[in-house]
Structure 1
Amino acid sequence: MKRKSKFILALVLMLVFSTVVFAARKVNITVTYDNIKVVVDGKEVQFGKDTKGNQIEPFIYNGTTYLPLRAVAEAVGKEVKWDQNTKTAFLGDGTVDMGEVNKPLTEIMKPFSTEKAEVIAKDEYKTKFSLGGKEYNNGILFNSYTYKKGHANFNLEGKYTNLTGLLGADQEGLTVKVDFVGDGKLIQSFDVVGGQLPVNVNLNVTGVRLLEIKFEWTDGLYSTTYTGLADVFVK
């Protein structure tokens, strides 16, 4: 038999504990409990209780079945923890790999394919380049001296949601087109004017596996410029 219950829930947090929690915004919703079972690899999951002692079970809201995060954790054999200060739910041991925190992309991984592109990573190459009068020791340098196009391809493995950086070219008057392509779809295109201050790059790369960074210039037959993508960070 179906039963309906009304809860005052913080919409973002309701999947974590399926109880009333503190939040900046609360929403009244009606959910339906219908004795829903969850089977993982042929074995039915037996749910326990939440931190308040309430039985954990899936529910239906607006035609969609939801599982509290604690239920998901139990289904895959992981512990779940909640950090109220940072509003973060942890599955597993709750630790963060600090090795990749605040590190540039070029120090986390190398492109698996490049054409006329040089990777700058301070721990490896000790090389610097300048954009807008400021020196940088990490990033990607595209050589446009005699080549009209090039690329650098990264395998992000769908692990990141955001990419930031600074994009510029050194030769005044030259315009270079730079495309960021994720899994074959254009994310954003920039027309970089040489001799100007670098522009900010802030991209949504959620779920992207293959990231292609392509550059191309069409002005004239010969160029003495380079295009730089500096301070590239992902999170």
Structure 2
Amino acid sequence: MKKLLIITSYLGFFILGGLTFTYLSTTEAASSLKKINVSQDTIHYYVDKVEKKPKEGQSGFIYEGTTYVPMRFIAESLGKNVTWDGKSKSIYIGDAPTFISLKDVKPIGSDEDHFFHNPSSIVISTGEKFEQSYQLGGYHGGGAVQDHTVEYMANGKYKSFETYLAPVKKLAAGSFGIGYMKIYADNKLIYDSGSIKDKVKVNVNLEGASKVKFEIEGSGLGILDPKFTQ
């Protein structure tokens, strides 16, 4: 027999533990919360012709023609571990990556820009606070435009680079943004943020790269917890 559930949640996070839902507390996430109607029914799961049964309370559900299933149950049925990182709100299936903060990586050459060696706490325009972060311009986002170019040896040991870019204060209507970031792998441009007006996530594939170079410019631009992954 089908049951009709009314659930208030941010959809993506139910998958870690069946029908366990989590509210997000940040200003950005709160704007994405909504109430939905879903149909819960008995779903049969087969892995290589063998039926697998989830624990009680971990049944999937159907929403707008798509069947959602508990990720932990599916991954473990396939022999994979599942890890949940609440800080970054990330799910890892199989091996979790190793993160290396940019502050702990030495730039190329003695004359290189050491901008990423002095992180601090940053509060961005949404009110969120980030540690191990950086900003261009004055402490409250004012001051002259700054630019920095930093290059690192990678030697193929990094899988990716990730960070968030965001204004550290609210922008005036019609603003053209407060800066940008460009990323080069072996002197080839692989990422260009364009002018930043809102918080955006950066996640760039660096597999096989020998060198990685960052160009950043702006005033009031926050670079939030930048790191390489291995």
Q: Same fold (TM over 0.5)?
A: no
What TM-score results when the alignment is normalised by the length of structure 2?
0.44
Q: Give the TM-score, by structure 1 length.
A: 0.44
Give the number of the structure with larger relative contact order, counting CA–CA contacts within 8 Å between residues 6 or more apart.
2
Q: Of the two, which has the highest radius of gyration?
A: 1
